Chain A
């Protein structure tokens, strides 16, 4: 089956530093990758849509200079939280899509828990 991995699974960083989160589709090439943010006991909020070789499309209210997304290949997208602050602490989840028949299949990574101290 299709597997999406994220690294790291858990990271603690100090306020003001930057953190990079990787999202990889291990056994398929992803047409599009998505980044979500999830606060405790809440739903997933779409942050941005990422396509290989092009700039990410950010959802309204998401700071593109703070959440840098790079999609270097069809199997790798990275999210960098720049100058992190405690309010950036959250669970970040990526997903990767591939064509399946006439539609798409979307596979989610296991998530990365970011804690900013």
Chain B
């Protein structure tokens, strides 16, 4: 079975600072990996997706994530945080590209 672990349930950053959200996966076969963002009382929006094509994946809103097999990690970064980045972020893993298992989520707050 596959799973993901998100390290840190809450991350607080200053506006303009680096955003780093950590995700480690466990999978018996090469997985598909995803990052989603959820704003309050809304559904999920896909930020980016890893499908084994390239280890550095660029997503929307300036986010990117790097797949590191040796570390079983798929950390999400954004060089400069914006107030609008305040939200809940979920890492997810899938073996077949559509049935997802989600991490516990990381809440991001951005300080002015």
Contact = CB atoms under 8 A, between A and B. Distances in A.
Contacts, number: 49
Given A103-B51, A110-B43, A111-B43, A43 B103 contact: yes
Interface in A78-104: 91, 93, 95, 97, 103-104
A93 B44 contact: yes
A4 interface: yes
Interface class of chain B by DSSP: loop
For chain B, which range describes its interface: under 10, 10 to 19, 20 to 34, or 35 or more residues?
Answer: 20 to 34
B94 to A, nearest CB: 9
Interface of A: 4, 6, 32, 34, 41-44, 46, 49, 91, 93, 95, 97, 103-106, 108-111, 113
Interface of B: 32, 36, 41-46, 51, 90, 97-105, 107
